[in-house]
Amino acid sequence: MTRLVVVGASLAGLRAVEAARKAGHDGPVTLIGDEPHVPYDRPPLSKAYLDVAGPGGDEPTPTTFREKAHLVDELGVDLVLGSPATGLDTAAREVAVGEERVPYDALVIATGARARTLPVGSGLAGVHALRTLDDALAVRRELDRAASVVVVGAGFIGSEVASGARKRGHDVTVVEALETPLVRACGEAPGRWIAGLHDKHGARLLCGSGVAALHGSSSNGSGRVEAVELTDGTVLPADLVVAGIGATPNTEWLEGSGVEIENGVVCDETLASSVPGVYAAGDVASWVNPVFGRRQRLEHWTSAAEQGAVAVRNALDPSTATPYRTVPYFWSDWYDVRIQFVGSPQADEVLLVDGDPEAGERWIALYRAGDRLVGALTVNGQTEVMKYRGQILKGGSWDDALAFAEQRKVARTVPA
């Protein structure tokens, strides 16, 4: 009987065990996670979860996906939570969790990524990253009493935290090391346009400055944070500092296992690693996406969920393994604005096809590579974005996309 082990108890890991049962796998299933919590949903943690408590001091809605009893009793999953996998022996086919050895026949690695932390000020209270439920609870508590918030990193997580802090009326400064935020995620001009939202909503954005030091209430590097000193000498008062400076894939536990690692677990199109029987899914997986014919490692909700299911089906039945193909999709909510991106930002041209980022809060940009449409960025364009996702998936042409955009714009502005 095939023993399935899934390492990583977040979205990808959960979807893996659910898909295994759905596919008819009736052998043992073990789900290993480093956090004490059963799998929970992360996107709300940097959004609604940070909002001020409801009347009566209500706790925010828990983001747990499934009750523990459901996982154990209904799905028959053996949960090993609260301690991380520490090693992998691919010859003996065993995962090490401290002293414990968990044998497997099929393995899915879904250990995700962890938030990068600031190289300075680690001993100070009031300095946080935001990735886990415990991080979110801590940031939320700090927001209840903070007055001056400094967010380091103007990426999506940092900007969502800035939005949440502004919503509570705090004084907010966002510090970004790059001259233009979000260049890698959206490209140069769109990054600038999106970042303009901070100014419009009363948060100060400082680009091109790094953090030189954090100053605390006591001179020996402990106590509470009181100020952030930037590389240009600027000193910003702060009683809460949140770092949103990216994430690092959790692969250290795989060292020496023979599983090839390079910016995540190196996988083929079917999410198979370099070692037979070992597959990967979610933020930790670097695989070749057939839609673009390119290696990608995504840190997106949608791909984590889908990869969990594909990886486990392929792991349980490698002879019928299918490639995982997707048009990447992510969303982010800043202030009252929904930002959505589909496709790839690696483009020869980015063209604004609707709206004006300087004037309004609804606009659409399309991304061209060669003669193909490869990406679409919408700001408050919820009714448009998924129509482009379909076109990108089908390998739609740039000309068709432009004609479609024009037709949509006319239909919207000219009453029928």
Partner 1 sequence: MRVCVDMTKCTGLGICESLAPDYFEVGDDGELRVLQVEVAEADRADVEESVTSCPTEAIWIET
Among 36, 256, 390, 395, binds partner 1 (CB under 8 A): 390
Please identify, among the stretches 208-216, 272-280, 289-297, 299-307, the one whose residues bind partner 1 according to the rule CB under 8 A.
299-307
Q: Is 73 exposed, middle or buried (0-12, 13-18, 19+ CB in 10 A)?
A: exposed
Q: Does 331 bind partner 1 (CB under 8 A)?
A: yes
Name the residue nearer to partner 1 (CB basis): 194 or 240: 194
Among 111, 173, 289, 340, binds partner 1 (CB under 8 A): 340
Q: What φ, ψ does residue 280 adopt, rounded to 5°? A: -140, 155
Please identify, among the stretches 73-81, 207-215, 351-359, 386-394, the one whose residues bind partner 1 according to the rule CB under 8 A.
386-394
Name the residue nearer to partner 1 (CB basis): 2 or 63: 63
Q: Does 323 bind partner 1 (CB under 8 A)?
A: no
CA distance 220 to 386: 53
Smallest distance, Å, CB 197 to partner 1? 17
Q: Are 5 and 30 in contact (CB under 8 A)?
A: yes
In terms of C-beta distances under 8 Å and separation of at least 24 residues, what long-range contacts does 92-101 make, across chains too? Answer: 93/277, 95/5, 95/7, 95/32, 97/32
Strand pairing report for 171-176 and 148-152: parallel
Q: Does 308 bind partner 1 (CB under 8 A)?
A: no
CA distance 44 to 46: 6
Q: Does 305 bind partner 1 (CB under 8 A)?
A: yes
Q: Does 322 bind partner 1 (CB under 8 A)?
A: no
Please identify, among the stretches 140-148, 170-178, 237-245, 326-334, the one whose residues bind partner 1 according to the rule CB under 8 A.
326-334
Residues 183-242 that bind partner 1 (CB under 8 A): none
Residues 29-48 that bind partner 1 (CB under 8 A): 41, 43
Chain centroid offset of residue 51 CA: 20
- In the chain, helix, strand, coil percent, each to 5? 30, 30, 40
Provide the token pair at 30.
């073990």
CA distance 339 to 358: 15
Which residues contact partner 1 (rule: CB under 8 A)? 41, 43, 301-302, 305-306, 309, 327, 329, 331, 338, 340, 342, 380-383, 385-387, 389-390, 393, 412
